Amino acid sequence: MSEIQLAGRVAVVTGAGQGMGRAIAQRLAAGGAKVAALDLNFEQAQESVAGCADPSVCMAYACNVSDSNAVNETFAAVESTLGPVSILVNNAGIGRAPGDGSDQMYELMGKRNEEMANGEEPKTHVDHIVFMEDEGWRDVMGVNLDGAFYCTRAAVRSMVNADIKGSIISISSTAAQSGEGPVHYVTSKAAIVGLTRALARELGSRGIRINAVAPGPTNTPIMNGIPEQWIKDMEAAIPLGRMAEPNEIADAVSWLASDASSMCTGSVLVANGGSYFF
Ligand SMILES: NC(=O)c1ccc[n+]([C@@H]2O[C@H](COP(=O)([O-])OP(=O)(O)OC[C@H]3O[C@@H](n4cnc5c(N)ncnc54)[C@H](O)[C@@H]3O)[C@@H](O)[C@H]2O)c1
């Protein structure tokens, strides 16, 4: 791909301590951006910054994106240290939380798979919602959706104050379209598409663009704990035959962050190897 030029732009990346967020932070830095790497895990965010093209113009911040005050304080710190925000990547996300019934769901799914593997008519139902407590639902929505809202609002305030035609990218998921996955996660990722479309209309007159990237299965630590056989089955169902690597998602994000995508707003860029078509 042609070189992405982001020289001097301030880019905030959430969940930048590992996985896709780390790859995105480092990709934007390679394009010349001054990156603010936000994560719950400060040490890992620091490691991400250390791997940036010019770590001296990037900063790590400890920030829980589901905490509105913490987000506002962090953006104020970013503005005073690095300058007004031109790029935001809402990447922080979780797929499970305590009290969300994931353990029961995995157990039931294992049983059902076993029944099918034995050639039996499956009797076990995987009704995950039955085991999902309010707390588990709220935590996932709090990070994936509220977090994206709080960060987007803070970034737009910064862009409006400094009259910047910025670019905001949020990480949705193929699950938003396919419906495959736990209900809190799928709902939050579908809501990201709504946030993107509503704000594309609202902010277009200012030249602020907002897009989403919808990855399919991607080789990051979020995949840890998923049984190996399920991963194999998942990959077998992908036309390109494999999961994405974090760098491949980072390339899609950096294109949307740059002027190379200047006519794109409100779009969902699908990067899933053909596993689902939007
Ligand atoms: N990996 C996949 O297969 C896949 C597929 C589609 C979409 N996604 C989405 O891509 C994004 C990145 O996924 P990943 O696979 O790199 O995940 P990951 O679990 O490897 O990394 C997520 C990072 O976010 C941080 N984080 C979690 N909660 C946070 C909070 N409240 N505040 C700040 N930081 C927080 C974690 O500390 C971690 O560093 C997520 O939004 C995820 O839902 C992932």
> 41 CB under 6 A from ligand 1?
yes
Q: 185 catalytic, yes or no?
A: yes
Single out the residue of 195, 188, 173, 215 nearest to residue 88, CA to CA.
195
Q: Exposed, middle or buried by CB within 10 Å (0-12, 13-18, 19+), for 183?
A: middle
Residue 227's pLDDT is: 79
The whole-angstrom separation of Cα 234 and Cα 246 is 17
Residue 277's pLDDT is: 83
The ligand 1 atom nearest the CA atom of 218? 3
- The residue length of the chain stands at 278
> 152 CB under 6 A from ligand 1?
no
The domain ranges of the chain are: 10-97+137-270
Helix (H) or strand (E) holding 214: strand 209-215
CATH homologous superfamily of 10-97+137-270? NAD(P)-binding Rossmann-like Domain (3.40.50.720)
Residue 229's pLDDT is: 84
Residue 1's pLDDT is: 43
Series of mean pLDDT values for 10-residue runs along the chain (278 residues): 81 98 98 98 98 98 98 98 98 96 92 92 95 98 98 98 98 96 97 98 98 97 82 92 97 98 98 90
- ∠139-141-145 over CA atoms, to 5°? 135
Task: Determine how many CB atoms are found less than 10 A away from the CB of residue 229.
Answer: 11
Q: Exposed, middle or buried by CB within 10 Å (0-12, 13-18, 19+), for 32?
A: middle
Residue 3's pLDDT is: 65
The ligand 1 atom nearest the CA atom of 222? 19
Name the catalytic one among 61, 150, 185, 276. 185
The two structure tokens encoding residue 99: 């009290």
